[in-house]
Amino acid sequence: MIKKLHTIAGALALMTIAIFWLSTSLAELFGSRTTVTMVKTAIPWGFLLLIPALAAAGGTGFFLAKGRRIGLIGAKLKRMPFIAGNGILILIPAALFLAFKAKAAEFDTIFYGVQTLELLSGAANIILLGLSMRDGLKLSRYGTRRRQMVKNEA
């Protein structure tokens, strides 16, 4: 059950961040200022889904690691402080700031500077979460093969 929760929470977190990133990019490239405002003011509401998903993925990941800190598990654990720090120190404050600026229709140099930082930081988190998902899938396949080998030997 914990493995399923970890998988679902991790996928949900990655998907949510990707949706934020794509929505922002598409709104800026092809949308009006009204569309940008709608996207930027909706993103903070998405934190109600994203933050619990990230917390669940992180918590279940630490539980599943069972104290191991090497190999793929070690790589996943080393990424987590960067993902969390990036989110807490850059992405959340930037999203709140951009929502405030967009709602006030202040699309100035500061808005676009912060938005550029947000998009770069978001892309970094998408990459890091994607790498963690890849490693989790490798671990899952390895565990399945190993259990099957043990079962076949018995």
Surface-to-core class of residue 24, CB atoms within 10 Å of its CB (0-12 exposed, 13-18 middle, 19+ buried): buried
Q: For residue 82, give both structure tokens.
A: 């960067």
Please report where in the chains the tokens 């998009």 appear, as a residue.
119
Nearest to 54 by CA among 24, 21, 92, 25: 92
Percent of the chain with pLDDT over 70: 92
Indicate if the pLDDT at residue 149 is higher than 60. no
Q: From CA 37, how far away is CA 48, in angstroms rounded?
A: 19
Q: From CA 23, how far away is CA 38, in angstroms rounded?
A: 10
Report the pLDDT value the prediction gives residue 150, as an integer from 0 to 100.
44
Q: For residue 26, give both structure tokens.
A: 């598409």
Name which residue leads in pLDDT, 132 or 139.
132
Q: Are 61 and 76 in contact (CB under 8 A)?
A: yes
Indicate if the pLDDT at residue 153 is higher than 60. no
Q: From CA 119, how far away is CA 40, in angstroms rounded?
A: 12
Tell me how far the alpha carbon of residue 84 is from its chain's centroid: 9
Indicate if the pLDDT at residue 36 is higher than 60. yes
Q: Label residue 135 by pLDDT band (50, 70, 90).
A: very high
Rg (C-alpha) for the chain, rounded Å, is 18
39-43, 65-69, 88-92: lowest mean pLDDT where? 65-69
Report the pLDDT value the prediction gives residue 139, as an integer from 0 to 100.
85
Indicate if the pLDDT at residue 69 is higher than 90. no
Indicate if the pLDDT at residue 15 is higher than 60. yes
Task: Summarize pLDDT for 71-122 with one digit per residue, the tens.
Answer: 888 888 899 999 999 999 999 999 999 999 999 999 999 999 999 999 999 9
Nearest to 76 by CA among 54, 58, 88: 58
For residue 129, the surrounding DSSP H or E stretch is helix 109-153
Indicate if the pLDDT at residue 154 is higher than 60. no
Q: Are 94 and 121 in contact (CB under 8 A)?
A: yes
Q: Are 20 and 43 in contact (CB under 8 A)?
A: yes
Mean pLDDT of the region 122-139: 94
